[in-house]
Amino acid sequence: MNTYPNQFFDRLMQDYDSRLNHSGIEGERLATRLAKLAEIGLTDENGSSRMGFSKEERQAKELVKSWMKDAGLVVREDGAGNVFGRLDGKDGNAHVILSGSHVDSVPNGGHFDGPLGVLAAIEVAEAWKQANYQPNKSYEVVIFTDEEGSRFSGGFSGSAAMVGDVNQDEQLKLIDLHGHSFQEVIKADGLTVDGYFRAKRDMKEVAAFVEVHIEQGKQLEKRNLPVGVVTGIAGPCWLELTFLGEAGHAGNTPMNDRKDALIAASMFIHELERFPREVSPTAVATVGRLNVHPNGINVIPGKVTLSVDIRDIHKQTRDLLVEEVIKMAQEVAEHRNVKLEVAETIRIAPVPISLQMQGKVMKAVEDQEVEAFLLPSGAGHDAMVIGTHTPAAMLFVRSQNGISHNPKEWSSLNDCVMAAHVLKGIIEDLTQ
């Protein structure tokens, strides 16, 4: 039996300041739930592996549903697998306030990315239950399905379905990394295609969405701050580039008579590093996946497919960078006498956080006697999808060494509980 979840809990609790247990927020409860979720999809390296629409993501959702019910929330699930725990407000006609995140993970990821946002939102409900408090507006804790996109190389499957930002024809063409169709995948998760496309919600009933998430960077750590106020969310564009050369015998094909797809891909990757800073100081571009065919020791690579993740917090410069990257790939392919195929798998516009929503988060942070530090989000989040349809806000939590999507991902329990207190203040402001 793997004892890591117990070690994980003990590490959370070892330097916890119990004075943070007040106003109905409890650190030990939050630590216990983080550790329980860490058991699901635990890898040999003590990381998290809960791919979207997987049995592990489903198991995590079912566990969190039980905690929602314990907090006095009425639980439902939509056709996309999004889970909602609702507390009705005093005003039945008032719009609902949403807060939450996701419980799926990247392969061998960490235990805070996603779950912390869900569990912090439940802590708000737990605190209200203890105080017998009912907000004016209704409140819902949400778990969005498949945020990370590890299965279909897309992400935001749940939040996009909820707001109706899904192209049905394109969605049904999706094939996962195991060769299974979108229809097969969601059927295995107990869902249906018709139900998925009926998950669209009337966003007029949603007054605001607030997401707590780890920073996945070092700005808060450098300033010794537990939390930070997000000013905007970078929009990702994902490209899939395929360099098509000609496979051949590694021994009998002269060096001057080759169409080596891997050489072309390598040149592209080398050149890519300099492009973002030439376009925008906040832009980034990453090749995170590379597939070589036929992948034999003594065979010249005839085909290489790679992913490119391009992001910026400004739409204009992000889109310019995408154009420049594709142009450079075409030039490399021509220079190396190979063909190039380009497919765009996702393009989501950056989402600025309104000054009004930033102000509410800043006030809640300052109410906890913490400096309200402003910073952008280079990573995409469900708040980015929801924020195109209703006011959204994000609160970042300090990440140790800025590590994320890695088993070493860590945020102290003190910081996590501080985030729950801040979130409670934001939600109480919004639900009045």
The token duo for 328 is 């450079």
Burial 392-415 (b: 16+ CB within 10 A, else e): bbbbbbbbbebbbbbbebbbbbbb
| Rounded Cα gap, residues 145 and 164, in angstroms | 14
Q: Is 213 annotated for ligand binding?
A: yes
Q: Is 148 annotated for ligand binding?
A: yes
Q: Are 247 and 301 in contact (CB under 8 A)?
A: yes
Strand partners, 395: 212, 229
Nearest partner of 310 among 300, 320, 302, 301, judged by Cα:
320
Nearest partner of 393 among 237, 223, 228, judged by Cα:
228
Q: Are 426 and 362 in contact (CB under 8 A)?
A: no
Nearest partner of 186 among 66, 177, 176, judged by Cα:
176
| Rounded Cα gap, residues 8 and 110, in angstroms | 11
The token duo for 308 is 């490119």
Q: Give how far the C-alpha of residue 95 lies from the chain's centroid of Cα atoms, to the nearest Å.
A: 26
| Rounded Cα gap, residues 200 and 389, in angstroms | 12
Q: Is 405 annotated for ligand binding?
A: yes
How would you classify residue 337: left for phi > 0, otherwise alpha for psi between -120 and 50, otherwise beta? left
How would you classify residue 192: left for phi > 0, otherwise alpha for psi between -120 and 50, otherwise beta? beta
Binding site per annotation, positions: 102, 113, 148, 213, 405
Binding site per annotation, positions for Zn(2+): 102, 113, 148, 213, 405
